[in-house]
Amino acid sequence: MVTGYAVASLYLPVRDGITRLDAATMYRVICVTSIGQYWFIHTMIVCGMLNYISFRMARRYSSAARLSVFAFVLLLVAQYTPFLAINSAAYYFIGVAIRQYCSDITQCFKGSFWTAIPFSFIVTKAAFHDWGMLSVLCASICFISFIFKLSEYVEGEAQAVALYVGRNTLPIYLFHTIFTMAAKLFLPLFKFDGTQFLFTFFTIIFCLAGSLMIGKCMDKTHLSLVFGKRYIMR
């Protein structure tokens, strides 16, 4: 998927696309830094390996000790190698800590509609979008809290659709980049909307529908085995 995205970025308008296609460039985007939205999976792979190694090394010690070892290893890799950005690793570490100390995630994030206020303020201010700032972490917490509260009022068919999308975030994440790039070709059709809200809504629906369609096709043709899964859809 990274290879396909990198090649497509030569011809389509993406922000961090490659400028030439050679072995060194492809090695960098696949094995070292990744590209586009696939940086997330790259970070998950690196942090997941370090998590396993760290917890195996300190398996006889307490959760706090294992987390300390894990944090130290993350810092070393982020500081002395190009494989990991500490800003991204911090979020993975927070997730591991929650997993260790909180059996139910709803106990960590209490639902509230009030959190929509700070979330809306943060996401509308470009100065607060740096992953190295606490504002991004605050926005994430506020959004989770808002969604937990909203889920209490979602029932029936809407709930079924929401749960279906939630169960199938893997194919959505794997394939949405294809449709994100393709959606930019439709941008001229939305020039009448200065807020770009309609284009954003169109892109989300386009990405969801397209990604789920690809997932279904892969399951029917057994191509899901390419990703090490008998069925990629759940």
Answer whether residue 33 shows pLDDT above 80.
yes
pLDDT given for residue 39 in this prediction: 85
- pTM metric for this prediction: 0.77
> For residue 53, what are its two tokens?
């190694």
Report the sign of the C-alpha dihedral through residues 201, 207, 209, 210, in that order. Answer: positive
pLDDT given for residue 187 in this prediction: 87
pLDDT given for residue 107 in this prediction: 77
Q: What is the pLDDT of residues 50-109, one digit of tens each?
A: 999 999 988 888 889 999 999 999 999 999 999 998 888 999 999 999 888 887 777 788
Q: CB neighbours (10 Å) of residue 120? A: 13
> For residue 64, what are its two tokens?
């706090």
Q: What is the pLDDT of residues 113-170, one digit of tens each?
A: 999 999 999 988 888 888 778 889 899 999 999 998 998 898 889 999 999 999 999 8
